[in-house]
Amino acid sequence: MIELNPFIIFLAAIFTNNMIFANFLGMCSYIAVSNEIPTALGLGQAVTFVLAITSVINYLIYDYILVPLQLEYLRFIVFIVSIAAIVQLLEMVLERYLPNLYYALGIFLPLITVNCAILGVSLFMIIREYTFMQSIGFSIGSGIGWTLAIVALAGIRQRIKNAPIPKGLEGPGITLIITGLMALAFVGFSGIVQIQ
Amino acid sequence: MNNILMTTLALTGISAIFALLLTIADRTIGDYGEVNLTINDEKEFTIEGGDSLLSSLIQEKIFIPSACGGKGTCGYCKVQVEEGGGPVLATELPFLTKEEMSNNVRLSCQCKVKEDIKIHIPEELFNVKEFDATVESITDLTSVIKLVRIKLPEGEEINFKSGQYVQLKAPLYEGNDEEVYRAYSIASAPSDKNHIDLVIGYVPEGIATTYVHHHLNVGDNVNINGPYGDFYYQDNNREMILVAVGTGVAPILSILNYMKENKIQRKATFYFGAKTPDDLFMLDYFEELEEKLYDFKFVPCLSRVTEEHNWSGFKGRVNNAIDEFLEDKGDREAYLCGNEPMINSVSKSLINKGIPEEMIYYDKF
């Protein structure tokens, strides 16, 4: 276990160990839903929310059910089940109270279930043996980091909408190049703190 | 052994807890309770909340035209929501004009009923009924167009105006895993309230047309609802110009049948457009109508005839025929039915010939 302040982990998860730019996790919806800032922000919030809840629940399940029963190897299945259930719950809440966001997210809301950033956070916190508070800092930080990345990309994509991009690079092609450049820029943060 | 048992129990237990949680959520967050639906300030229904407005209305046997079956892709199911529809959703925006938005028009398939709701729909939609009818006969008009005669259940009747359409439900069949509704104009006259004729062309990979052409047999049950549409015969004394291509003949046929039955004394000319002689149908019937109707002229136009076809009629598109034959004078009205390019080019030709735009009625498909 690393002796780090949860707040440091929180900051590190946003900047130096960003889910997108350091681990390249959760790329599917990152590329597909980054056309407009409001939608990207909505998805980012949904991902952050799901991340925060799932990591707490998965931490409790792992520490209080799987470890005592020596069933650690079940974590992949159990984590996926809990993530799926929580996304279902979130869908119901959004449909009732924020219908516009619900329809704007469309198919990508159920797809959060298979967003690898979510499972990634749950698994990282186990592998890196974080404490409960550290896990919370890490998951919320990762969510905000993911949101930051997708909103920044959406902003850039809105700006290049009318740019003369070569035909073959339009859409996902130029998006991946932009992501690479953004990842390079984020390397600049790496000297601040390391958590892995 | 113990290990396997433990694994199974742990996994089942965790899944069960989540299932329980979701069930509770469904009963609380997902349950909108009973809400009041008020239509046109007079009819009131108490319905179960949570469904889309479209399906709630269908449950109350009120049918709003919708071609896509509630997926938000056709944009037909517009209704005016006066109160309680919530904000306009992003999925509706492409289908609504600024004027419609300021009048609170919504797509009823997207608008969820979550609270007491007040809506306004055209009075004639109350006339729309659903029928579990049977196919009485199927006749080949051309190699790709069939005339389907449908008999409504005994004792039930449909009241429609010549030119209106019904929706036919294409059920699930092998190769099709979604139920869709498709609109077809009624070809028979309104006097026979127990039967309707539909003219249905085959569209490759079309869900409903494949169903009709390859799966539907005489004696089968079909589900239809209707009538709908604001394209219908106008009762006045103006000279009429009727234009149709392909299956667009159906509503025109209904109008002509209506005129024949009621011995209406109006001058009328019918331009029937097709590519080759094989695409024309019911020619004998229309020629017979020239004798029977008061003053009716039938002009078939073929756009792709060659020497071999031995065609003595007009060669060219319908709009060319109108450019060539129609006199330039006002006080006439036109009824057009067919595809969009045809409607656009014919409208232009008609306006050139002095027919005011508001006297051109059309049904685009």
Substitution target in A35, A54, A73, A88 with the highest count of B β-carbons within 10 Å is A88
d(CA A138, CA A17): 10
d(CA B249, CA B147): 11
pLDDT tens, position by position, B81-110:
988 887 787 778 888 889 988 888 999 888
Mean pLDDT for B15-27 is: 91
Mean pLDDT for A68-85 is: 90
Minimal Cα distance from B91: which residue of A? A103
- What is the distance in angstroms between the CA of the first residue and the CA of the last residue of chain B? 67
As a whole number of angstroms, the longest Cα–Cα distance in chain B is 95
* pTM of the full structure: 0.62
Say what the pLDDT of residue A139 is. 95
Percentage above 90 pLDDT, chain B: 13
**Average pLDDT score, chain B:** 87
Give the distance from residue A69's alpha carbon to the nearest chain B alpha carbon, in angstroms. 8
Say what the pLDDT of residue B354 is. 85
Lowest mean pLDDT among A55-69, A123-137, B283-297: B283-297
d(CA A29, CA A150): 9
How is residue B127 written in tokens? 């006339």
pLDDT tens, position by position, B301-360:
888 888 888 888 888 888 888 888 888 777 889 999 988 888 888 898 888 888 888 888
Ranges of each domain in chain A: 6-187
Say what the pLDDT of residue B50 is. 81
d(CA B269, CA B286): 11
Mean pLDDT for B59-77 is: 80
Q: Does the beta-carbon distance from B30 to A93 stay under 8 Å?
A: no
Name the region of B318 (left: φ>0; alpha: ψ -120 to 50; beta: rest). Answer: alpha
Distance of CA A118 to CAs A89, A140, B87, B191, Å? 16, 11, 31, 65
Number of residues that make up chain B: 365
SS (H, E, C) B300-343: EEECCCCHHHCCCCEECCHHHHHHHHCCCCCCEEEEEEECHHHH
Higher pLDDT, B292 or A103: B292
Say what the pLDDT of residue B149 is. 92
Say what the pLDDT of residue A106 is. 67
How is residue A180 written in tokens? 């690479």
Which helix (H) or strand (E) element contains residue B101? helix B98-102
Say what the pLDDT of residue B283 is. 86
At B227 the three-state DSSP class reads strand
Percentage above 70 pLDDT, chain B: 100
Mean pLDDT for B58-78 is: 81
Say what the pLDDT of residue B316 is. 87
Percentage above 70 pLDDT, chain A: 96
Q: Which of B7, B18, B30 sits opposite A85 (nearest CB)?
A: B18
Mean pLDDT for B203-218 is: 88
Interface of B with A (CB under 8 A): 6-7, 10-11, 14-15, 18-19, 21-22, 25-26, 29-30, 32, 86-87, 89-91, 110, 112, 114
Checking if the pLDDT of A1 tops 60, the result is: no
Q: Which of B7, B89, B90 sits opposite A74 (nearest CB)?
A: B7
Say what the pLDDT of residue A45 is. 85
Residues whose CB is less than 8 angstroms from the CB of residue B284 and which lie 6 or more positions away in sequence, other chains included: none
pLDDT tens, position by position, B123-166:
888 888 888 899 999 988 888 899 999 999 888 888 888 989 99
Q: What share of chain B is helix, strand, coil (3-state, %, to 5)?
A: 30, 30, 40
Q: Which domains does chain B have, with CATH numbers?
A: 34-125 (3.10.20.30), 128-228 (2.40.30.10), 239-364 (3.40.50.80)
Say what the pLDDT of residue B71 is. 76
Q: Does the beta-carbon distance from A96 to B29 stay under 8 Å?
A: yes
Mean pLDDT for A78-105 is: 83
At A49 the three-state DSSP class reads helix
Nearest residue to A62 (alpha-carbon basis) of A117, A111, A131, A10: A131
Say what the pLDDT of residue A118 is. 92
Checking if the pLDDT of A136 tops 70, the result is: yes
Q: Does the beta-carbon distance from A96 to B25 stay under 8 Å?
A: no
Per CB-CB distance under 8 Å, the chain A contacts of B86 are 99
Q: Which of A69, A92, A106 sits opposite B10 (nearest CB)?
A: A69
Burial class (CB in 10 A: 0-12, 13-18, 19+), A165: middle
* Number of CB atoms found within 10 A of residue A192's CB: 11
pLDDT tens, position by position, B238-264:
889 999 998 888 999 999 999 988 888
Burial class (CB in 10 A: 0-12, 13-18, 19+), B358: exposed
Give the distance from residue A192's alpha carbon to the nearest chain B alpha carbon, in angstroms. 40
Mean pLDDT for A65-72 is: 88
Say what the pLDDT of residue B318 is. 86
Say what the pLDDT of residue A62 is. 93
Compute CA A80 distance to the chain's CA centroid, rounded to the nearest angstrom: 15
Give the distance from residue B80's alpha carbon to the nearest chain A alpha carbon, in angstroms. 19
d(CA B249, CA B201): 11
Residues B333-343: b if buried by 16+ CB within 10 A, e if exposed: bbbbbbeeebb
Mean pLDDT for A152-168 is: 89
